[in-house]
């Protein structure tokens, strides 16, 4: 791993700049995390942050919507805006010489958006169309609904909103969400690429330094939906969602948790793909991923299968999840094998090498690290954590955090029986 130089600066209004100059590249990228995501949607108005995320780039400062898009395009900026549970995020990458100008434009977007009346209905209609498309795609719908049942409200609410709440959202809702949530305190700006830190710090100070801090917004928590449920859908297919507890990103055992999930679902040689799909031919798609909130983690699994094979698919998948923590027995073929862990490590190392060469990926990563950890991990540190994983440490994690207390959701013509304990 190349030597890295992580530099940070906290402005008096609470905005944090986290930067990594990268020698030998010609680009620079940024990731702005504004703590105004969907967990701050007012009760009964899930989708407010999503509409705001779309509307906020439709004119800002002295530019109308067309002028703003043209100016960003003229900078050659590859950009994206996304809404998540915690943040509305703004990311961009361009030639290094255009970084300062791009940040100046985003100063207008974050601090002086127009949020015009005439843009509200088209934006809400676009969100509605997207949500209706997801309703018609069971594979997307089941993961949204599984998350809703796996985490307490508002953490489990869909960041894109829900159809039932959209009619209750008005332009005043959007302006109120912006006024309440968009603020410098808690905002993180991650930058990676070819730049001088002191120069870019001055630019950020000029653009955002006099942005006034506000009180942190609050939100109400509540219980999720039933842990075992079926959404009736007349179809020849059944979609299965399973989740169970894991450790969050901040936990010292996070890398062991990541490796355990990698053994289950990390390519065509992984446990779930091999045992459930290839050997038995039970499903056409199966996967698992590790999901983290600041305070909680879950493994989320998906399987898609023919309805007549759905019960067997659920049974075998649950067996494989539970079997991961079994002791090593070479003759019985149980326990985590060294070859399985080696494949996980190889994939992770390849990802680190690619991240080292991508300013966009690095900007996203250092901003995320700062949010979760309050510091930035170097790639060498991550590499060492991965390299230090052993079969014994991953198996020990799987035993201490066994798959169980499942949340299980299906979308299909009939509910399935759950033949393991769920609480």
Convert the pLDDT of each residue in 2-41 to its tens digit: 667 899 999 999 999 999 999 889 999 999 999 999 999 9
- Each residue's pLDDT tens digit, 174-195: 999 999 999 999 999 999 999 9
Among candidates 109, 100, 104, which has minimal Cα distance to 200? 100
Fold of 228-412: Cytochrome Bc1 Complex; Chain A, domain 1 (3.30.830)
Residue 246's H or E segment, with its range, is: strand 237-246
pLDDT averaged over every residue in the chain? 93
Residues in the chain: 423
pLDDT, tens digit (0-9, with 9 covering 90-100), for 192-217? 999 999 999 999 999 999 999 999 99
Q: How far apart are CA 401 and CA 242, in angstroms?
A: 16
Whether the per-residue pLDDT at 156 is higher than 80: the answer is yes
Same fold, 7-208 and 228-412: yes
Q: What is the mean pLDDT of residues 153-167?
A: 95
Q: Where are the alpha helices (DSSP H) in 136-187?
A: 138-150, 171-181
**Residue 334 pLDDT:** 61
Q: Which residue has the tokens 């003759």?
A: 331
Domains of the chain by residue range: 7-208, 228-412
Backbone angles phi and psi of 188, in degrees to 5: -120, 130
Q: Please give the pLDDT value at position 95.
A: 97
pTM: 0.93
pLDDT at position 351 is 86
* CATH class held by domain 7-208: alpha beta
Look-up of token digits 């967990």: 39
Complete DSSP assignment for 86-97: S-EEEEEEEEGG
């Amino acid at each position: 791993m190349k030597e890295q130089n992580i530099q940070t600066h906290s402005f008096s209004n609470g905005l944090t700049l986290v930067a990594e100059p990268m020698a030998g590249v010609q680009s620079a990228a940024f990731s702005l995390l504004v703590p105004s995501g969907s967990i701050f949607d007012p009760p009964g108005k899930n989708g407010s942050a999503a509409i705001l995320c779309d509307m906020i780039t439709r004119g800002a400062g002295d530019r109308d919507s067309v002028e703003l898009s043209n100016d960003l395009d003229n900078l050659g900026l590859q950009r994206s805006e996304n809404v998540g549970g915690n943040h509305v995020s703004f990311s961009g990458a361009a030639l290094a010489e255009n970084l300062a100008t791009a940040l100046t434009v985003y100063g207008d977007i974050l601090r002086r958006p127009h949020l015009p009346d005439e843009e509200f209905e088209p934006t809400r209609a676009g969100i509605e169309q997207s949500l209706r498309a997801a309703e018609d795609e069971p594979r997307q719908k089941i993961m949204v609904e599984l998350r809703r049942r796996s985490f307490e409200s508002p953490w489990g609410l869909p960041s894109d909103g829900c159809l039932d709440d959209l009619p209750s959202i008005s332009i005043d809702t959007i302006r109120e969400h912006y006024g309440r949530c968009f603020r410098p305190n808690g905002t993180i700006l991650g930058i990676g690429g070819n730049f001088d830190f002191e120069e870019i710090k001055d630019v950020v100070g000029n653009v955002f330094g006099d942005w006034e801090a506000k009180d942190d917004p609050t939100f109400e928590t509540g219980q999720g939906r039933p842990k075992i449920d079926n959404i009736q859908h007349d179809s020849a297919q059944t979609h299965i969602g399973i989740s169970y507890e894991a450790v969050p990103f901040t936990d010292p055992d996070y890398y062991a948790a990541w490796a355990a999930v990698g053994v289950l679902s990390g390519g065509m040689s992984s446990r779930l793909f091999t045992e459930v799909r290839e050997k038995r031919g039970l499903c056409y798609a199966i996967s698992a991923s590790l999901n983290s909130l600041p305070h909680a983690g879950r493994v989320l699994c998906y399987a898609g299968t023919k309805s007549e094979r759905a019960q067997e698919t659920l049974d075998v998948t649950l067996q494989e999840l539970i079997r991961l923590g079994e002791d090593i027995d070479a003759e019985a073929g149980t326990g985590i094998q060294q070859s399985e862990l080696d494949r996980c490590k190889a994939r992770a190392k390849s990802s680190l090498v690619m991240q080292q060469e991508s300013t966009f990926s690095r900007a996203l990563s250092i901003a995320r690290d700062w949010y979760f950890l309050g510091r930035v991990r170097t790639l060498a540190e991550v590499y060492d954590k991965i390299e230090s994983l052993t079969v014994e440490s991953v198996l020990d994690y799987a035993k201490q955090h066994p798959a169980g207390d499942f949340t299980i959701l299906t979308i299909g013509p009939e509910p399935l029986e759950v033949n393991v304990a769920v609480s």
